[in-house]
A = this chain, B = another copy of it.
Amino acid sequence: MIAVLRSQNIYYFVVGTLKRRCSSSTLFDGKVDRYGGITVDLQKSHLDSPETTFSDILKESLLSWRKEGRKAVWLNIPVMKAALIPIAVKQGFCLHHSRGDCITMCQWMDDGSPSRLPLYATHQVGVAGFVLNEETGQVLMVQDKIRVSLWKFPGGLSNPGEDIADTAIREVYEETGVKTEFKSVISFRQQHNHPNAFGNSDIYVVCRLQPLTSAITVCQDELLDAKWMKIHDVAHDVNIPTLTTRICRLGICGMVEGFDKVDIQMEKLESIYRGAFYKIYHRPLSDKYNYM
């Protein structure tokens, strides 16, 4: 339903997010950002004859935004209004991403320059637990259910918003029932076009974990088997991928020379974004330099 409000001889048209004074036509109202862009949220708009109305209003709005010198336009389209998407494509919009029940499209308006719009997330983050029992020299290994020949460290993808260390501890527990404590990051890997990442890249982080329990309960949904293996056997097994044997060799170095030789330490710091924190990872830095 389109409501027409009259105020001071200027007509205001209100169609959900539409609310803009104009003489002859209705325009979308949007939220201006600090980069010179504008975002229109169609979540709550009520268009009577959606396709036609949307097309006309979008056309007029684009003309107006162009006049104002807007550099970019973002459209948030709720999933049940996805029929509007092809109309937006015809007016120059591209898909940017989908998240939850919303599809986001965008258009770079600054014709004279290449688009500087940021891309959506490009990486998944997987975390493995390198669970090393220093007393027995054993490391916790699991056997994949799909690639049955593959023995590897327990691990899996981070949930949204989950810290690397927490993923490692959770995945080890879910897959093997072994409780652990985070000690350090030992290594990370970047791989592009990862086969299980929808064409995206993969960052795989290996955390050194100290086991707090030893009894194994194999997760039947995901694994064929799980067991403690001698770290020297894994380090020399030619059937085990290089990344895994490399980590074991770093682990052996740590057991012989001390883990300060192999650890990448973690610290929680306050962000420049008020109220936010992050985890920083780097080589241990002595107080001499850190508090100079």
Which of A's residues lie within 8 Å of B, judged by CB?
34-35, 79-83, 85-86, 89, 95-104, 113, 116, 118-125, 146, 150, 157-161, 163-164, 186-201, 203, 221, 235, 241-243, 246-247, 249-250, 252-253, 256, 261-264, 269-273, 276-283, 285-286, 289-290, 292
Nearest B residue to A104 via CB reads: B198
A197 and B121 contact, CB distance less than 8 A: yes
List the number of copies, as a whole number: 2
Q: How far is the CB of A188 from chain B (nearest CB, A)?
A: 5
A193 and B283 contact, CB distance less than 8 A: no
Known A98-B96, A262-B282, A264-B264; contact A221-B269, beta-carbon cutoff 8 A: no
Q: Which residues of B contact A199 (CB under 8 A)?
A: 99
Q: Cα distance A243–B82 when bound, in Å?
A: 42
B198 and A250 contact, CB distance less than 8 A: no
A157 and B119 contact, CB distance less than 8 A: yes
Q: Which residues of B contact A119 (CB under 8 A)?
A: 124, 157, 159-160
Q: Cα distance A267–B277 when bound, in Å?
A: 30
A121 and B283 contact, CB distance less than 8 A: no
A95 and B95 contact, CB distance less than 8 A: no
Q: How far is the CB of A154 from chain B (nearest CB, A)?
A: 16
Q: Which residues of B contact A243 (CB under 8 A)?
A: 269, 278, 280
